[in-house]
Amino acid sequence: MRAYSQLDLIGQELKKIQSNQKGKDFFSKVLDRLLVKKYVKLNIKLEPEVLVRSQGLCYDLSRELESTFNQADLLQVLYGDFLFYVRRNYDNLPQILQWLVTRDITPPAIEDYSDQTPNIYCGDDELTTISITMGREEALRGEHLCFDLEEVETNHHFTLESLLSIVFTDFVEQYRKGNVKNAAKKILKYVEHKPSSNL
């Protein structure tokens, strides 16, 4: 099974199940549970223009909240909303896949076979990386979605990181076009009702 994020959380879970089947004692099982991190850190690649466009909204939200609200915080809110959308539409994976495909602006990989060994250029040099910390279970849900999308299209290219990039980029683009009404108010309402330990 391939990894659906940098972290390969599904792979970690499968290894844990396999090692538990080998007859671990009670103490080892408890220790394993205690050592599992509740939060994980991911690096997401985004176009610099997208990050610059999102700064204004984040600045406005910081003023309203009277605390720092950056792009990583915005991405967590947007991903939470995306997971809600996925839960409501999980019986229609082709629709979810279509939503992702139409919004994916990942630069295509170009293979250069002029040398003996192929070089692959993906356009990643022009992207900026941001780090986001999120709940392990939320990240695992994204990996599970990527795994389940294999039922619709085998060998698709989506990963948890690409889902996050698509969700963020699409929101900023829709906000720029004026298609997202009362975005700041809706985000503030979400942040105020979400437990602070998750943000």
Mean per-residue pLDDT for 174-180? Answer: 90
Instruction: List, for residues 81-124, the tens digit of each pLDDT value.
Output: 999 999 999 999 999 999 999 998 775 554 444 444 444 444 55
What pLDDT does residue 28 have?
65
> Which stretches does DSSP call E strand in the chain?
39-46, 110-112, 119-121, 128-135
Instruction: List, for residues 61-84, the tens digit of each pLDDT value.
Output: 898 888 899 999 999 999 999 999
Identify whether the C-beta of residue 139 lies closer than 8 Å to the C-beta of residue 7: yes
Enumerate the domain spans of the chain.
37-198
Q: Quick one: which H or E segment has residue 40? A: strand 39-46
Taking all residues of the chain, what is their mean pLDDT, rounded to a whole number?
83
Q: Report the alpha-carbon distance of residue 190 to residue 39 in Å, rounded.
A: 20
Give the dihedral sign, CA 186/189/192/194: negative
- Strand-pairing partners, residue 42, are 132
Query: What share of the chain has pLDDT > 90, as a percent?
Result: 54
Q: Report the alpha-carbon distance of residue 83 to residue 141 in Å, rounded.
A: 8
The residue behind tokens 């170009």 is 110
Q: Report the alpha-carbon distance of residue 64 to residue 158 in Å, rounded.
A: 35
pLDDT tier at 184 (50, 70, 90 boundaries)? confident
What pLDDT does residue 27 have?
66
Quick one: CA torsion of 89, 106, 170, 163, rounded to 10 degrees? 40
What pLDDT does residue 112 have?
44
Q: Report the alpha-carbon distance of residue 193 to residue 77 in Å, rounded.
A: 11
Mean per-residue pLDDT for 29-41? Answer: 75
pLDDT tier at 161 (50, 70, 90 boundaries)? very high
Q: Report the alpha-carbon distance of residue 170 to residue 105 in Å, rounded.
A: 9
Mean per-residue pLDDT for 142-155? Answer: 94
pLDDT tier at 181 (50, 70, 90 boundaries)? confident
Identify whether the C-beta of residue 93 lies closer than 8 Å to the C-beta of residue 148: yes
- pTM (two decimals): 0.82
Residue 90: which of 130, 132, 36, 144 has the closest Cα?
A: 144
What pLDDT does residue 18 have?
79
Question: How far, in Å, are 1, 49, 116, 128 from residue 19 at the CA level?
Answer: 17, 45, 42, 38
More confidently predicted of 5 and 120: 5
